[in-house]
């Protein structure tokens, strides 16, 4: 079976390229219809109240998970002191959540497409409330890490299902665009609010209160989703036969294992560079690398035989799809690393309290809200390639400013604009990438499409933070300052990391200029 590359095909909208890819790479009698080809029941326009409930529920639940990530970042010191977390596992309350979430997204998305996205979403919301409350009640470090791991799996149920719910409830057009923009707003805004709330709680009532508040708010959104999300006209019936035959279980297991091992290695590296010398870590990294060609071979075989393939190899021959995934990987890595390192900079270099540190991140949610509202309303009016290129260029100013910042530089001169500009590019890319990626998958596998996006973003965040931490730690230890934990030595390491982040952000411009050229306008209403 021959496959014709589509690198030279221009598209408006992106689904046209995918349609050509699928027609060329799969025999006619085995072809899976793409969005343009599928015959789905006409979607009746939803009432404004129902639309608002859907927006609030999806934005709220995904935002709560990011809020907890920001909260944990700030409250790590008092949390470690209360539970006796050693330096070796100091970052694991954050890392283990990302680890279990990252390796569960693809599989949970595939399952949601079979059992129903609404059911999977509500189940994930319920579990997230339970495990978040359990984290606040944890008495030992083991209990905290265990419940954070389970919470990561719970949110992995929600994120791909939320993408599928958006494409189910809203046809192509402005409401779908705005729904993706609002979902995108929930993540960076939630993270920034988590930093602010965490700082206030760390210096006041204590870190446990943050988990209790998050669990309560998440439960409110669960109730909103339970009674407000419309039930499907043709509900999916749970079938063990479909679970067995409609999901590429071997491919999903191979990919999840690979992602889990890689996430683990990068999480360990974030805490200590020398840990890569451990026999266990070398074995994990070697196994993950060996599984990558095994996965490519397996899904290629599945595709050739006309069987379900978790992520068909032919998709990666689509220039736009591949470029968008690379952009998401790089942009989320840069965004997450910038905010995390700035948190350390304020506390370890400028010796600010947790509250003072958190308040400095207030420009981020304000900037995120404005960017996503504008993007949701205007994405179908502007060329998607230029929207990504221009806004990522604006976000590249953020690591540049903090890279040249001095230890005692005034907040308003460097840090304020850096924080305000950091999320603009990723916010715009979130809406564009979800529209492109969901267009690349058939209607019946939209949750899997959401799993692909969130997996790429999650792994990007892990890799970006790990590499930035390794660079900062290495340069600090090699600095000529005798006090390696002093502000000047630490700043030298952070400055090197920010220059690295700048290069990562700049790489998205190169990828976009080549891979997204002439993509045109997306998000149009289709007849």
- The domain ranges of the chain are 15-25+47-231+244-515
User: In this predicted model, what pLDDT tens digit does every residue of 278-311 receive, in sequence order?
Assistant: 888 889 889 999 999 999 999 999 989 888 888 8
Mean pLDDT of 246-253: 88
pLDDT for res 4: 36
- Between the two ends of the chain, the Cα-to-Cα distance in Å is 34
Band of residue 30 on the pLDDT scale cut at 50, 70, 90:
very low
> According to the model, what pLDDT value does residue 506 have?
94
3-state secondary structure of 205: coil
Per the rule left: phi > 0, alpha: psi between -120 and 50, beta: everything else, 357 is alpha
pLDDT recorded at residue 265: 84
Alpha helices in 203-318 (DSSP H): 207-228, 240-245, 249-271, 279-304
Tokens encoding 395: 């976000």
Tell me if the bond preceding 106 is cis, omega within 30° of 0.
no
User: Which pLDDT score, from 0 to 100, does residue 21 have?
Assistant: 35
Domain 15-25+47-231+244-515 has CATH 3.40.50.880: no
Q: What is the pLDDT of residues 303-347, one digit of tens each?
A: 898 888 888 888 888 888 899 999 999 999 999 899 889 988 998
Which residues 6+ apart lie within 8 Å of 291 measured at CB?
A: 254, 257, 258, 261
Residue 15 confidence (pLDDT): 38
Local structure of 415: helix, strand or coil = helix
Long-range contacts for 294-299 (Cβ within 8 Å, ≥24 apart)? 294/254, 295/251, 295/254, 295/255, 295/258, 298/250, 298/251, 298/254, 299/248, 299/251
Mean pLDDT (the chain) is 83
Q: Give the pTM.
A: 0.82
**How far lies 103's CA from each of 254, 259, 385, 523, in Å?**
10, 5, 30, 30
- Answer whether residue 245 shows pLDDT above 80: no
Residue 240, pLDDT > 80, answer no
Q: C-alpha 334: how far from its chain's center?
A: 12
Q: Are 258 and 106 in contact (CB under 8 A)?
A: no
Q: In this structure, are residues 111 and 123 in contact, taking their beta carbons and an 8 Å threshold?
A: no
Percent of the chain residues topping a pLDDT of 70: 87
State the Rg of the chain over Cα.
Answer: 22
């Amino acid at each position: 079976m021959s496959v014709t590359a589509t690198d030279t095909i221009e598209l408006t909208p992106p689904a046209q390229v995918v349609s050509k890819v699928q027609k060329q790479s799969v025999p006619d009698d085995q072809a899976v219809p793409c969005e343009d080809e599928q015959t789905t029941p006409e979607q009746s326009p939803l009432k404004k109240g129902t639309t608002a409930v859907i927006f609030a529920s999806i934005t709220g639940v995904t935002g709560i998970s990011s809020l907890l990530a920001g909260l944990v970042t700030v409250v790590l010191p008092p949390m470690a002191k209360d539970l006796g977390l050693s330096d070796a596992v100091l970052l694991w309350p954050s890392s283990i959540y990302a680890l279990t979430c990252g390796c569960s997204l693809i599989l949970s998305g595939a399952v949601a497409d079979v059992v129903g996205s609404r059911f999977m979403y509500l189940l994930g919301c319920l579990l997230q409330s339970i495990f978040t409350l359990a984290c606040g009640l944890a008495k030992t470090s083991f209990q905290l890490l265990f419940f954070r791991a389970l919470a990561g799996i719970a949110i992995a149920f929600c994120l791909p299902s939320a993408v599928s719910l958006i494409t189910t409830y809203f046809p192509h057009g402005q409401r779908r665009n705005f729904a993706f923009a609002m979902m995108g707003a929930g993540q960076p805004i939630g993270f920034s609010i988590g930093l602010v709330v965490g700082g206030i709680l760390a210096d006041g009532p204590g870190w446990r209160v943050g988990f209790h508040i998050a669990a309560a708010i998440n439960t409110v959104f669960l109730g909103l989703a339970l009674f407000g999300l419309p039930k499907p006209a043709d509900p999916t019936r749970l079938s063990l036969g479909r679970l067995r035959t409609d999901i590429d279980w071997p491919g999903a297991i191979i990919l999840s294992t690979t992602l889990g091992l890689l996430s683990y290695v990068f999480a360990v590296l974030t805490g200590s560079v020398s840990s890569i010398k451990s026999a266990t870590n070398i074995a994990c990294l070697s196994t993950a690398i060996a599984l990558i060609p095994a996965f490519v071979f397996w899904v290629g075989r599945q595709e050739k035989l006309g069987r379900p393939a978790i992520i068909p190899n032919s998709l990666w021959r689509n220039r736009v799809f591949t470029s968008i995934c690379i952009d998401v990987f790089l942009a989320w890595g840069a965004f997450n690393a910038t905010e995390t390192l700035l948190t350390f900079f304020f506390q370890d270099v400028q010796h600010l309290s947790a509250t003072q540190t958190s308040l400095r991140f207030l420009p981020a949610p304000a900037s995120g809200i404005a960017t996503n509202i504008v993007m949701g309303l205007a994405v179908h009016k502007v060329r998607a390639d230029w929207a990504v290129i221009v806004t990522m260029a604006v976000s590249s100013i953020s690591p540049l400013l903090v890279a040249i910042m001095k230890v005692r530089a005034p907040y308003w001169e460097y840090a304020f604009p850096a924080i305000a500009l950091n999320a603009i590019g990723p916010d715009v890319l979130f809406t564009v990438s979800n529209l492109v990626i969901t267009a690349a998958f058939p209607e019946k596998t939209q949750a899997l499409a959401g799993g692909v996006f969130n997996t790429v973003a999650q792994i990007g965040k892990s890799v970006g933070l790990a590499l930035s931490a390794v660079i900062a730690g290495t340069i600090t230890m090699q600095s000529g300052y005798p006090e390696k934990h002093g502000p000047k030595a630490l700043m030298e390491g952070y400055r090197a990391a920010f220059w690295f982040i700048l290069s990562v952000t700049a790489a998205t411009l190169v990828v976009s200029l080549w891979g997204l050229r002439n993509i045109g306008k997306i998000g149009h209403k289709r007849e």
